[in-house]
Chains A and B, each alone.
Chain A
Amino acid sequence: EVQLVESGGGLIQPGGSLRLSCAASGFTVSTYYMSWVRQAPGKGLEWVSVLYSGGTIHYADSVRGRFIISRDSSKNTLYLQMNSLRAEDTAVFYCARAYRDGHNAFDYWGQGTLVTVSS
């Protein structure tokens, strides 16, 4: 059974850093396109970043230069290193799997982890 479990969220001050983890089971993270998607409280969905199976990376303009996506194949885990956090980064962060390489419709999502940026 495919499962994605995020962790690492919490309350952080503006300008701080946080690393989110997404532990996968039931499939191999390194063989799929994996993304982070976020949702601010009461708002819609915003795609954040993708890591291709082949290693290519894309970021949304809103996080480029501040966030870094990566994976650890030995742990079958996806990460999102978030630096220089701002109040507007407050959101539930989901990791999600693309159903097929090059076709970034997300067939599996984690339960999400809440990041709150506030002083």
Chain B
Amino acid sequence: EIVMTQSPATLSVSPGERATLSCRASQSVNSDLAWYWQKPGQAPRLLMYGASTRATGIPARFSGSGSGTEFTLTISSLQSEDFAVYYCQQYNIWPLTFGGGTKVEIK
């Protein structure tokens, strides 16, 4: 099973600042990497797939990069609605696996 490791576990950021989240796979997943965000009491929502393609309706301040084992999600200027938990997920090899999440909180 591919282990997905996200860092940091918690990221404290002020509104308007840039946030950089990392996700590492224990072996290559090519570009089969998705990012989700989840707010308390809500279902996850797809942000990014194919490592760098924004899902429908996702604003341009979100960008994704990486391939193989190292991936990054960048939020260029944090808005109040962006404070949430972010998960990465690989879908290259069964079983599908998720990272443990990064909580982005208000500094």
Contact A104 B96 (CB under 8 A): yes
Chain B min CB distance to A25 (Å): 16
Which of B13-21, B38-46, B69-77 participates in binding chain A? B38-46
Contacts A45-B87, A45-B89, A58-B95; A109 near B32 (Cβ below 8 A): no
Across-interface contacts of A60 in B (CB, < 8 A): 95
Contact B46 A111 (CB under 8 A): no
Which residue of A is nearest B45, CB measured? A109
Which residue of A is nearest B56, CB measured? A107
Contact B87 A106 (CB under 8 A): no
Contact A44 B43 (CB under 8 A): no
Q: Which of B43, B95, B99 has the most CB of A within 10 A?
A: B43
Residues of B contacting A: mostly:
loop
User: Which residues of B in the span 6-53 have a Cβ within 8 Å of any Cβ on A?
Assistant: 32, 34, 36, 43-46, 49-50
Which residue of A is nearest B101, CB measured? A44
Chain A contact patch, size range: 20 to 34
Contact A47 B55 (CB under 8 A): no
Contact A61 B91 (CB under 8 A): no
Judged by a CB distance under 8 angstroms, whether A90 is at the interface is no
* From A44, A61, A105, contact of B95 by CB (8 A): A61
Chain B min CB distance to A27 (Å): 14
A50→B97 CA distance, assembly (Å)? 13
Judged by a CB distance under 8 angstroms, whether A46 is at the interface is yes
User: Which residues of A in the span 61-119 have a Cβ within 8 Å of any Cβ on B?
Assistant: 61, 94, 98-99, 103-107, 109-112
Across-interface contacts of A21 in B (CB, < 8 A): none
A51→B57 CA distance, assembly (Å)? 27
Across-interface contacts of A47 in B (CB, < 8 A): 89, 95-98
B residues whose Cβ falls under 8 Å from a Cβ of A: 1, 32, 34, 36, 43-46, 49-50, 55-56, 87, 89, 91, 94-101
The 6 residue pairs across chains A and B that have the minimum distance between CB atoms: A105-B34, A105-B49, A104-B91, A109-B43, A47-B96, A45-B98
